Structure 1
């Protein structure tokens, strides 16, 4: 890896690059070629030439079979050097360009005959045919199964990311005198743990632990059981990398995952970062509030917790009044995720893992040696679950990750994985939670609207029947168009509060409406009209009746968890499904 750093800019000996920089020694250079002032491809080819020569010397030491495998790594390193100022494209095409009449064949000749003699670098270039011969051998090299192919992909992305980070840090230091002192690691996890354990929710769980009962009669007891059961199961499998946490909506998975992630970080001191990844910005916002409740009083701890998405400023709220803010340093930290604890979205994570743009790979290396909590895994397309679990297994193995996968409707992904290691199921007693009377009987489900031709007018009639009982009512539509049409239909209804939330609402507007619902007194009706933005990441506890446009089972299950969330047995929730917009 060090060789990539050493060689990545050696191509700046290119006289045309020096001329472009304004170096007076090369201003009169008459050199002309198709490479132009490009220094990256010159560096890449010189790297190839140097290390393929070394490889022939190493054959006695490494053996013939290992030698052929090293050819692939040498070409991968060369490819990374060639692309370190541009996006990743195709490694296969890069290698094939060294075949007969390929672009890189011509470039080798121009380097050998023009660039090196005109530069001040004393270097004896090998014959071109040596590189061409090794390039053609790559396709014939065999690897053992899909895991080794994934290892190659992870390797080249990791080295590419490290090279980009090193290059950016060095350039920023030289040009702007801004020095990156650290890359954001958790060296004080015990302080976070101690602060978390002071919370009332943690204290109540430990109190319950001392007097556990077989008969679970309250929702908080069930949440405590999930917390304790998963903690015990994790202790048995601390050496494993992937964990499944499947439990019904409303059973405290977020708090449980926070405890589990701290346990993993304490157990393995090589783990230095923590990522919480969610499908929606609403979930990110909700969990940011949870973090603030736990750590907001400790400025030195909360300062290291950052939200990374399209809606958050580079500045944390408590930084806005500070003076002497270095915005270049803030930008570098955001681009390269120099944060000990990061809250972000699936879009951000999967762009880091698979995006081909240079910016996508900036922070890939930061994932190494970290704990990642992946929430709401069911929001991915069913057709790519095999690829998801296979890649997550490989990333966990080769980057030293611990990944906790959470969902209320988690598929049995073990059967889909193409890797040898199977994830650990943290909830062994599945029926203890999914068949618990508290959850089974918190709502009655009504399907009678599915048997009728649905219209907004019919829905309004049914909704008003529930509102007249002074209930808090939630109605969810699939499309914004239908939600707004229903909102317009309710315009003349003045007896109870009626509000609407869609994906177009700002965070502030959404918070204002939800606070209004939360603070609405018992005995007063309230109608909230929403799109699917309400399904996850919105903490609503007092909905007593819900109407939903039926869609996929996972979505319907999430919605049911919004009704009578606190499991009030004196007032059972009512859930109505209808079919309006075809999905």
Structure 2
């Protein structure tokens, strides 16, 4: 074990313990108060730290940090570095010895308040920690003293923030430098060691720290990333173990950390699925072609070849941390990626979790269904797969009431809420599992994942320790803002190496982000050595032909031409016998919502006027969940229809259309759109027409790809798209990114390392790495109207709103239970919620909760059944004084 033989701070030796100190108070269902001794809490925190290290195999992780941060130090210096780290966890609550905290927070009147009345404990813990270890640090000389001093100050900063967020480091440094040079504060009066014995003047801590930092900035610029990750990882461990210990005292012990215990169960289920069995049959038949379950030109032959090649190249690189997996849309990436994840877990016993990360919630939900089938619908594994995002309810965990003495947990809940469906729901454990990702297989979004990597508050970093020793599959990474691609790959490389992550970056349009690495970085393995082998295969290359003829029309005339061409194409699909297997389904995509809605109305009207029977559907980002589900189901199962949409259709929507029309935007977005057409690769004659109406820069800010010469407005890009030559396209983009990062402006990457990273400006880092840079102010409308069927149950929107209000007002409910039940409501309410910009006009509403307003549906602002934000504005402006 990494921390064997490392001494803990001796509490009894350094504090006057004649009068007990309390850490927490708890009230049982009978109203009885019980208190927890501070020493008990500190010991319980360390117990959970040891448990977490064992469950998550964290001991090698600490070796990684040691090697990267203090690898050159002597063994005695490394031993002190370990002691500083270990005791950051143990000493985090020493400040609760503050008499004011004991009197005012713990009602422990055996102590007397001081004149300051200050009840803070986190900062005083940091102060005591620094004071205690400073002499030990100063006993070393030269570089060893410098790095140990740097660590001591940094660790104390982490302690000081464990009840808040990672805010200003310079302010903390100024305060602790001042206070350590003073006489002992009265708030630390029961701490027996003297203050300031190693410091001869105020400010010396701050001056010494900045002197060391100047040298690090000059000589080890990119050591800033490992130190940033170290700080966040230590912060995550500290707040997690503190939270676990507190929860144990309040609600009972935590037994399950949601890790994969036995990979063999997953492998068995995966290998028994029909898809995997056929792939293995194909593999065995390579020397005997008649034994293959697939025809030579069957797309499943190609999918099997890709599956096997990716596996082979993965196994050739067992010690790598990051992998690129590029493959065409429809080539079975999800199934292949699960096989890769299982192979990684099989090859490294430390790995114990799989995390899938997607750009859109639609992809998250869709992939869960695919994964259940991938594991042959094994019910135990299906239960291990959990969606974690902002709209899916918290997974309810159940337990036997026998686990709780006197059945108090369930008795109290049942007494207050006799309508509880399942009285064995453990709300505390359910919320805890969600906060810390106590699930073996997690499906989440890019935004959630980046919040864990870069967020500054406690709840953001709760899951970080659980991402250690995980296989992480990042899907559609090119959807990240490309001015951040360099920072993203630099952080992913170090996060993967330090936390023993295995990260598979996959997409149909995958930039070689390795070109953005530092100069001394090793190349990252590509799991498909020659992606063109698959892209150039007729099944993928020829499944959709491209037509650029509509690009010659200007903005004034294109919509009329487009209407005619769509109707002409639909009639041709209906009447031409050459289109075998076609269902006459056409997809039209615009950039702006308003354009899509207007065109939807015009197309409907023109079809009616010509007596043509077609169902026309429209889907934009303004549609709520119920409407999206209704439309997608109609498109999947219907025929003779036209879907008008915005970019919400490009990725994450599992539909297979016959023909497409697209307003041009970014080069790789065009390929994402092509992936919605002839996905089955079984149709001959599928085509996509490109046109130019709304400018793409309305949507894609700060994106190198929006330059005209890098879009298909430039004919030079036509052949790149037709031949799927994404490497040539991304080479141009990556060179521009590298050039911009070297320029002397706000994008300069070295300035970012010096001023943001080395100054431990975690708030600025979080802001810098924000994926969605959207400063628009919006409100949410809960629009009551017709009942909606959700999972076979008819939901009345008005009753749902009333029940939601009642739940919010219920102050008798425990916090965890309320969070879980509110998440259940939020998932249902999402079916009735629409987003609009903060209105500059008055509108009628029948209830309000923060930025959520209850309104009554009127068909005036639902023309053709579609919510229209402009019609909503006009309706309320016209009816304001009626």
Do the structures match in fold with TM over 0.5? Answer: yes
Match of residue 559, structure 1, among 673, 677, 692: 673
| Structure 1 unaligned blocks of 5 or more | 98-102
Match of residue 509, structure 1, among 611, 620, 627: 627
**Cα distance in structure 2, aligned partners of 1:207 and 1:567:** 22
**Cα distance in structure 2, aligned partners of 1:362 and 1:490:** 50
CA deviations 1:1-21 (Å, max 9, x no partner) are: 320122111011112212212
Give the 3 Å change call, closer, same or farther, for CA 514–322 of structure 1 in structure 2.
same
Match of residue 26, structure 1, among 111, 123, 135: 111
1:456 equivalent in alignment to 2:559: yes
Aligned to 1:116: 188
The alignment's TM-score, normalised by the length of structure 2, stands at 0.61
Please tell me whether the aligned partners of residues 564 and 572 of structure 1 are also in contact (alpha carbons under 8 angstroms): no
1:485 equivalent in alignment to 2:598: yes
Aligned to 2:642: 527
Instruction: Report the CA distance between 1:479 and its aligned residue.
Output: 1.7
Aligned to 2:390: 310
Match of residue 271, structure 2, among 186, 193, 197: 197
Match of residue 658, structure 2, among 538, 544, 557: 544
Please tell me whether the aligned partners of residues 151 and 394 of structure 1 are also in contact (alpha carbons under 8 angstroms): yes
1:42 equivalent in alignment to 2:113: no
1:168 equivalent in alignment to 2:275: no
CA deviations 1:356-414 (Å, max 9, x no partner) are: 22321121111111110000011012222111111111001111110000111111212
1:159 equivalent in alignment to 2:234: yes
Instruction: Report the CA distance between 1:132 and its aligned residue.
Output: 4.2
Please tell me whether the aligned partners of residues 396 and 425 of structure 2 are also in contact (alpha carbons under 8 angstroms): no
**Cα distance in structure 2, aligned partners of 1:427 and 1:173:** 48
1:568 equivalent in alignment to 2:682: yes
Match of residue 230, structure 1, among 310, 317, 320: 310
| Structure 2 unaligned blocks of 5 or more | 1-84, 400-419, 575-583, 697-882
Please tell me whether the aligned partners of residues 196 and 202 of structure 1 are also in contact (alpha carbons under 8 angstroms): yes
Superposed counterparts of 1:143-542, under 5 Å: 143=216, 145-175=220-250, 177-212=251-286, 217-295=297-375, 297-315=377-395, 322-418=422-518, 420-454=521-555, 455-468=558-571, 469-470=573-574, 471-492=584-605, 493=607, 495-520=613-638, 524-541=639-656
SS in 1 for 2:184: helix
1:140 equivalent in alignment to 2:207: no
SS in 2 for 1:68: helix
Instruction: Report the CA distance between 1:259 and its aligned residue.
Output: 0.6
Please tell me whether the aligned partners of residues 71 and 134 of structure 1 are also in contact (alpha carbons under 8 angstroms): no
Give the 3 Å change call, closer, same or farther, for CA 424–30 of structure 1 in structure 2.
closer
Instruction: Report the CA distance between 1:312 and its aligned residue.
Output: 0.5
Please tell me whether the aligned partners of residues 232 and 461 of structure 2 are also in contact (alpha carbons under 8 angstroms): yes
Match of residue 153, structure 2, among 48, 61, 75: 75
Give the 3 Å change call, closer, same or farther, for CA 105–77 of structure 1 in structure 2.
closer
SS in 2 for 1:425: coil
Give the 3 Å change call, closer, same or farther, for CA 433–292 of structure 1 in structure 2.
same
**Cα distance in structure 1, aligned partners of 2:460 and 2:662:** 37
- Select the structure with the greater relative contact order (CA < 8 A; seq sep ≥ 6): 1
Instruction: Report the CA distance between 1:50 and its aligned residue.
Output: 0.9
Instruction: Report the CA distance between 1:104 and its aligned residue.
Output: 3.2
Please tell me whether the aligned partners of residues 273 and 375 of structure 2 are also in contact (alpha carbons under 8 angstroms): no
Match of residue 136, structure 2, among 36, 54, 59: 54
SS in 1 for 2:661: strand
Instruction: Report the CA distance between 1:105 and its aligned residue.
Output: 4.4
The alignment's TM-score, normalised by the length of structure 1, stands at 0.91
Instruction: Report the CA distance between 1:480 and its aligned residue.
Output: 1.5
Aligned to 1:7: 91
Please tell me whether the aligned partners of residues 386 and 417 of structure 1 are also in contact (alpha carbons under 8 angstroms): yes
Give the 3 Å change call, closer, same or farther, for CA 318–512 of structure 1 in structure 2.
farther
After superposition, the CA RMSD in angstroms is: 2.3
Tell me whether 503-512 or 186-195 shows the greater mean CA deviation: 503-512
Please tell me whether the aligned partners of residues 384 and 440 of structure 2 are also in contact (alpha carbons under 8 angstroms): yes
**Cα distance in structure 2, aligned partners of 1:480 and 1:236:** 47
